[in-house]
Amino acid sequence: MAIETRIIQPDELEIAVQLLRQGECVAFPTETVYGLGANALNTKAVQKIFQVKGRPADNPLIVHIYNKEQVQELVIAYDPIVDQLMERFWPGPLSLILPKSDRVPTVVSGGLDTVAIRMPDHPVALALLEMVDLPIAAPSANLSGKPSPTRAEHVFHDLQGRIPVIIDGGPTGWGVESTVLDCTVKPFRILRPGGVTYEQLKEVVPVEVDPSVNHAVVVDQPRSPGMKYKHYAPNAKVIVVKGDHAPQIINQLANSPEYQHLKRGVLAVEENLHLYPGMIVLNLGPKQEQKTIASRLYHLLRQADSIGLDVVFVEGFTDDNVGMAIMNRLRRASGNQIIQS
Ligand code: TXA
Ligand code: MG
């Protein structure tokens, strides 16, 4: 049954606090993407998140906190070096997977004996978490399978009629979801790359990157259940072309019999916008500015749909630093259609 969805401002947080205390879901901004939050200690409230998103029940949620002391009730004994990661990267886009305590309902962990925890670096998220003073389970506030929302209007587009309130905090900063680091294996393992990079983590602790991050490996038992679902995909077909000759290859493909009659678009870096005559070209940002590119990516993939593109070609990037997160999302959005030129 449809309910009215209100968009509220950050000075009206009390409304959201009351709803969360009553076991309702609320969408709120973080520094990565918008989250769909509910009281992590209330099974019924968390079940609503899965219903609203159409999310498979075995895909666990990240628990959001505003204060490191909240970690203690959510976990059992963990490697003490994790404290250094919290010290260095929190608040920030790093979710830590730790052995969970019995306080965390199984619905949150998707049946696993671990829980992912993070402290978001966003004034509105932190204020909300502090006011409600509960750990808040929150996946990205999109319909399952769609690109994560980086603006309140994206959340409204996907979840209108399904949730009572969206807190509008403007466009999010990072634009890609947090780095997910499994701290229950040695070496620690990046299950999803994000704003806190492999290069930065390596300075604190030995880490490795899960093979599924950079390659299309078919894994029966992925370490992170989220890995097995196609993600971040617009309706348009996405084709990524990497390498120095990307513009030539994209033009060739776009004008080939397979695609020439379709509505075609390109996501290109600013320097290359002029290289695609006759196509709809969307600006990812300057080539060297990985953070700008990450922050625009989901918005542009959603724009490809609102324009009604049938196929969208995307210039690919190198896998270093934030490039690892960008390429990981493009790999998923394209169903691994990556061409090396
Ligand atoms: O930036 C973010 O992380 C955003 C904002 C809202 O905080 N949240 C987010 O949540 O992206 P979600 O649910 O869309 O993605 C969580 C990812 C999924 O891939 C899930 O499988 C993985 O984290 N995950 C969560 N708990 C896990 C656990 N205990 N073990 C392994 N993977 C886990
Ligand atoms: Mg998500």
Terminal CA-CA length for the chain: 49
pLDDT in tens, 48-73: 999 999 999 999 999 999 999 999 99
pLDDT number for residue 223:
67
Instruction: Report DSSP letters for 197-259, one per residue.
Output: -HHHHHTTS-EEE-HHHHS----SS-SSGGGGS--S--SSEEEEEESTTHHHHHHHHHTSTTT
pLDDT number for residue 218:
46
Instruction: Give the pTM.
Output: 0.96
Distance 271 CA to ligand 1 centre (A): 34
Q: How many whole angstroms separate alpha carbon 91 and alpha carbon 75?
A: 18
Average pLDDT over residues 212-235: 67
Residue having the nearest C-alpha atom to atom 33 of ligand 1: 224
Q: Quick one: pLDDT band at residue 221, thresholds 50, 70, 90?
A: low
pLDDT number for residue 83:
98
329 Cβ below 6 A of ligand 1 = no
Percent of the chain with pLDDT over 70: 95
pLDDT in tens, 159-180: 999 999 999 999 999 999 999 9
Ligand 1 atom nearest to CA at 109: 29
Average pLDDT over residues 146-165: 97
Other CB atoms within a 10 A radius of the CB of residue 72 amount to 10
Average pLDDT over residues 209-231: 68
Return the higher-pLDDT residue of 223 and 146: 146
pLDDT number for residue 228:
61
Which residues fall within 8 angstroms of residue 233, CB to CB, at 6 or more apart?
A: 145, 146, 147, 301, 332, 333, 335
97 Cβ below 6 A of ligand 1 = yes
pLDDT(219) > 50? no
Ligand 1 atom nearest to CA at 225: 21
- As a whole number, the mean pLDDT across the chain is 95
pLDDT number for residue 167:
99
Q: What does the angle CA 90 – CA 92 – CA 93 come to, to the nearest 5 degrees?
A: 130
35 Cβ below 6 A of ligand 1 = yes
